[in-house]
């Protein structure tokens, strides 16, 4: 059945694109630069640029457009900061069974893991966190970044290997 | 080591894509436990918080704002400057004027490019185009001037009360706020006011005067305008007009209550002696005057 193509210039369509992509775009940028404010500014700029070019960008291509624009803007201006992720405390249920020593050890392990993530190269970290935190499949990430799925899997593999080594050495 | 089997194997393990055989091998390997701990630990990390609606509002605000900006930017600044410069140049060529003016009590002789001589009376302004003037010899006059035109053809004096066209001649034009007067001393001039539909041809000895909107024609026997001899003459003129004239020759201002300047004045005053001039106007009018010490203010009182 032929469906009327969605125009990005339609405010409703534009808002829909915002619903679908704003968070993962913001997180993607955050995983690179470690600054939430900066990431959100770049997201705004990317959506404004999308609106200004709404006649030229097809609905299906909008997602790729947003990521490409944000990435380019990012390379032009961004100062990098350390990525600091919050993690949940161990659940109550567990802490009843386990000893205080074990708990302390666990907390130490989480701090080490966080440090290890911060030390990952950007390319590996963005892929790794998009997969783990935003639950994107390797295929989806590959599309967003405009690289092959194989490349994404390699980066994931390297990230995991590196994390294990870093945590072990700390 | 298992992790070195190929370069994506850990990625596939994390995604749960290993084959049965691979998984069994990995779970038996030395590093399995460490990886398992990593995977569990990773699950406790949280996505950073995200306030979608606030961000959406900001995006729309910025989109709305840039719309109005865009309109202004359509033509770059240098376009505007270029256009402005061209217009200025055109104005310079076609509307550039030469202006001669006189201040209170001042007289000035002006020679125009065609040889015409104009003697400007006090507080008057004469202007004409700088370029191509000889093609259309029109001058603008605000005030009073005695014109001696050598080649009359096409010479015009434009005033707020009409135009005087010259047919070769000597004449005095008085075009002040207080009224219009034209005296012809030699040759012929044509007076025309298109707004009021007045038209008069004046020969030597003729004069016209605008009284309100009425044109009065009369004869005179003067050889030249009286102001040329250094005095002003009035025939049954409102005192207010006399005082306005007074202020053109002397830097004084009058202070009075309106009811004492009701009369009409007939007579003259000189242009070079303030005391004498005041005497000759106000004594006949039975008005007491007081001149301040700095000679700038005259206070009038009924006698």
Q: Does A47 touch chain B (CB under 8 A)?
A: yes
Q: Which of B10, B12, B15 sits opposite A161 (nearest CB)?
A: B10
Q: What is the pLDDT of residue A1?
A: 40
Give the DSSP H or E segment for B162: strand B162-176
> What is the average pLDDT across B54-61?
90
> Does B47 score more than 60 pLDDT?
yes
> What is the average pLDDT across A82-95?
58
Q: Which two tokens stand for residue A78?
A: 């961004």
Q: Given pLDDT bands bounded at 50, 70 and 90, which one contains residue B91?
A: confident
CA distance A32 to A78: 9
Residue in chain A closest to B56 (alpha carbons) equals A18
Task: Give the rounded distance of the alpha carbon of B80 from its chain centre.
Answer: 21
| Residue appearing with tokens 């097809």 | A58
Pairwise pLDDT comparison (B30 vs A6), residue with the higher score: B30
Q: Does A19 touch chain B (CB under 8 A)?
A: yes
Report pLDDT digits (tens) over B234-243.
888 888 888 8
> Taking the CA atoms of chain B, what radius of gyration do you get in angstroms?
45
CA distance B111 to B114: 8
End-to-end Cα spacing for chain B: 129
Which stretch of A29-38, A156-165, B69-78 has the lowest confidence by average pLDDT?
B69-78
Report pLDDT digits (tens) over A147-167.
899 999 999 999 999 999 888
Q: Which of B4, B7, B50 to mutate to test the interface with A (most CBs of A within 10 A)?
A: B50
Q: Which of B3, B34, B45 sits opposite A133 (nearest CB)?
A: B45
Task: Give the rounded distance of the alpha carbon of B274 from its chain centre.
Answer: 35
CA distance B79 to B81: 5
8 Å CB contact between B203 and B170: no
| Distance between A132 CA and the closest CA of chain B, angstroms | 7
Q: Given pLDDT bands bounded at 50, 70 and 90, which one contains residue A139?
A: very high
CA distance B119 to A46: 75
Sheet containing B287-291, strands listed edge to edge, beginning at the edge strand earlier in sequence: B253-255, B297-302, B287-291
CA distance A83 to B183: 96
Closest CA to A23 of B54, B213, B24, B139: B54
- Measured CA to CA in angstroms, residue B214 lies from B17, B160, B179 at distances of 110, 15, 11
Q: What is the pLDDT of residue A128?
A: 92
End-to-end Cα spacing for chain A: 59
**Beta-carbon separation of B34 and A15 below 8 A:** no
**Beta-carbon separation of A110 and B44 below 8 A:** yes
DSSP letters for B142-158? EEEEEEE-SS-TT-EEE
Burial class (CB in 10 A: 0-12, 13-18, 19+), B101: middle
CA distance A150 to B262: 108
**Beta-carbon separation of A26 and B50 below 8 A:** yes
Q: What is the pLDDT of residue A2?
A: 41
8 Å CB contact between A107 and A71: no
- What are the φ/ψ torsions at residue B56 (nearest 5 degrees)? -60, -45
Q: What is the pLDDT of residue A93?
A: 46
Q: What is the pLDDT of residue A110?
A: 85
CA distance A158 to A139: 17
| Distance between A1 CA and the closest CA of chain B, angstroms | 33
Give the DSSP H or E segment for B287: strand B287-291
CA distance B247 to B143: 13
> What is the average pLDDT across B289-297?
83
Which stretch of A94-98, B77-81, B100-104, B166-170 has the lowest confidence by average pLDDT?
A94-98
Q: What is the pLDDT of residue A90?
A: 47
Inter-chain CB pairs, A–B, below 8 Å: 102
Residue in chain A closest to B47 (alpha carbons) equals A133
Q: Does A48 touch chain B (CB under 8 A)?
A: yes
Q: Which two tokens stand for residue B225?
A: 């305008």
DSSP letters for A63-123? HHHHHHHHHHHHHHHPPP------BPPPPHHHHHHS-HHHHHHHHHHHHHHHHHHHHS-HH
Q: Which of B35, B59, B62, B64 to mutate to test the interface with A (most CBs of A within 10 A)?
A: B59
Q: Does A141 touch chain B (CB under 8 A)?
A: no
Which of helix, strand or coil describes residue A14? helix
| Distance between B63 CA and the closest CA of chain A, angstroms | 6
Q: Which of A30, A154, A157 sits opposite B48 (nearest CB)?
A: A30
**Beta-carbon separation of A157 and B7 below 8 A:** yes
């Amino acid at each position: 059945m032929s469906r009327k193509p969605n125009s990005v210039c339609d405010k409703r369509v534009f808002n829909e694109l915002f619903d679908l992509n704003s968070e993962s775009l913001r997180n993607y940028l955050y995983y690179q630069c470690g600054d939430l404010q900066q990431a959100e500014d770049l997201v705004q700029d990317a959506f404004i640029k999308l609106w200004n070019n709404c006649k030229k960008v097809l609905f299906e291509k909008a997602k790729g457009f947003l990521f490409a624009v944000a990435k380019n803007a990012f390379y032009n201006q961004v100062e990098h900061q350390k990525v600091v992720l919050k993690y949940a405390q161990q659940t109550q249920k567990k802490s009843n069974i386990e000893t205080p020593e074990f708990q302390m050890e666990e907390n130490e392990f989480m701090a080490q893991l966080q440090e290890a993530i911060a030390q990952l190269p950007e390319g590996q970290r963005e892929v790794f966190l998009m997969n783990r935190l935003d639950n994107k499949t390797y295929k989806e990430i590959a599309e967003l970044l405009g690289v092959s799925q194989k490349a994404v899997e390699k980066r994931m593999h390297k990230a995991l290997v590196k994390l294990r080594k870093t945590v072990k050495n700390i | 080591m298992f992790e070195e089997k190929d370069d994506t194997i850990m990625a596939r393990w994390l995604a749960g894509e290993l084959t049965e055989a691979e998984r069994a091998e990995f779970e038996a390997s030395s590093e399995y436990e460490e990886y398992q701990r990593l995977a569990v630990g990773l699950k406790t990390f949280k996505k950073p918080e995200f306030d979608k609606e606030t961000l959406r509002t900001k995006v729309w605000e910025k989109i709305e704002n840039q719309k109005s900006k865009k309109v202004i930017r359509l033509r770059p600044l240098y376009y505007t400057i270029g256009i402005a410069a061209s217009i200025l140049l055109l104005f310079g060529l076609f509307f550039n004027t030469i202006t001669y003016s006189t201040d209170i009590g001042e007289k000035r002789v002006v020679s125009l490019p065609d040889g015409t001589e104009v003697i400007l009376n006090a507080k008057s302004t004469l202007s004409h185009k700088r370029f191509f003037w000889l093609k259309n010899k029109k001058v603008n006059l605000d005030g009073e001037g005695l014109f001696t035109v050598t080649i009359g053809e096409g010479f015009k004096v434009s005033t707020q009360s009409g135009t005087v066209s010259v047919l070769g001649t000597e004449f005095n034009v008085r075009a002040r706020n207080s009224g219009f007067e034209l005296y012809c001393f030699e040759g012929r001039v044509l007076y025309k006011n298109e707004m009021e539909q007045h038209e008069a041809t004046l020969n030597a000895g003729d004069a016209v005067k605008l009284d309100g909107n009425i044109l009065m024609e009369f004869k005179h026997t003067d050889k030249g305008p009286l102001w040329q001899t250094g005095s002003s003459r009035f025939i049954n003129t409102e005192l207010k007009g006399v005082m306005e004239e007074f202020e053109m020759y002397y830097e004084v201002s009058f202070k009075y209550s309106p009811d004492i300047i009701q009369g009409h004045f007939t007579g003259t005053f000189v242009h070079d002696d303030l005391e004498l001039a005041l005497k000759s106007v106000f004594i006949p009018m039975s008005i007491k005057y007081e001149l301040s010490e700095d000679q700038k203010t005259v206070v009038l009182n009924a006698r």
